[in-house]
């Protein structure tokens, strides 16, 4: 009977550890493996040319006349626009701009969404589908100190607007002029 309890305890401990941090390692592994395979496919030119999108940006570089080739070169990197990840495929410098050809990385976007969805499910968070649902659950974070702290009263700006006179302790360094003021300067002719 103790072996069965021990086995069940180990099983539930493994489930708890997977729920706590293990899923992050699993998703990281899946994302890394997919990224390596996707890069290898791009290096071997195994992609659909019609699915490429072009991003142009102004670029001011010195000696740009040296890089005015109209040819594209392979370029690695990624960008996320509107929640969708794009992989850079090619780039070229043309005149005073840079043009990047990108391909949408749908699998990486789905893995990211799956990671976020699993996080919400495992931590019992409400999904952000845009609809506000009143489930009667306690919020995820509750200010526990609110019962023990007094509320801060509003600032009284009338006190802050009072004129304050400050006395300098360095007054003996600054020479003072005690003579009469000659009046307004004369007008120029």
> What's the rounded Cα separation, in Å, for the pair 147 and 119?
30
DSSP string for residues in 4-54: HHHHHHHHHHHHHHIIIIIHHHHHHHHHHHHHHHHHHHHHTT-S-GGG-EE
At residue 93, the pLDDT reads 80
Q: Average model confidence (pLDDT) for the chain?
A: 75
Cα-based distances in Å from 84 to 8, 20, 87, 102, 107: 42, 27, 10, 12, 10
User: Global pTM?
Assistant: 0.54
Q: Where are the domains of the chain?
A: 2-122
At residue 133, the pLDDT reads 52
At residue 156, the pLDDT reads 54
At residue 145, the pLDDT reads 55
- φ, ψ dihedrals at 86, nearest 5°: -125, 140
- Has residue 134 got a pLDDT over 70? no
At residue 10, the pLDDT reads 93
Contact between residue 136 and residue 41 where contact means Cβ atoms under 8 Å apart:
no
**What is the pLDDT confidence band of residue 7, given thresholds at 50, 70 and 90?**
very high
Of how many residues is the chain composed?
189
pLDDT in tens, 29-88: 999 999 999 999 988 888 888 889 998 888 777 766 556 667 888 888 888 888 888 999
């Amino acid at each position: 009977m103790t072996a069965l309890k021990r086995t069940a305890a180990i099983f539930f401990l493994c489930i708890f550890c997977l729920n706590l941090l293990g899923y992050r390692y699993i998703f990281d592994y899946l994302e890394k493996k997919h990224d390596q395979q996707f890069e290898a496919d791009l290096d071997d030119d195994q992609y659909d040319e019609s699915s490429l999108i072009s991003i142009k940006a102004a670029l001011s570089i010195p000696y740009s006349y040296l890089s005015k080739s109209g040819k594209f070169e392979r370029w690695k990197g990624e960008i996320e626009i509107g929640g969708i990840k794009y992989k850079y495929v090619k780039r070229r410098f043309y005149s005073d701009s840079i043009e990047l050809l990108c391909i949408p990385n749908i699998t990486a976007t789905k893995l990211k969404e799956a990671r976020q969805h699993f996080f919400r499910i495992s931590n019992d968070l409400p999904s952000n589908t845009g609809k506000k649902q009143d489930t009667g659950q306690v919020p995820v974070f509750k200010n526990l100190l609110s019962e023990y702290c007094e509320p801060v009263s509003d600032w009284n700006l009338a006190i802050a607007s009072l004129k304050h006179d400050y006395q300098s302790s360095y007054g003996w360094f600054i020479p003072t002029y005690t003579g009469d003021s000659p009046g307004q300067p004369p007008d120029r002719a």
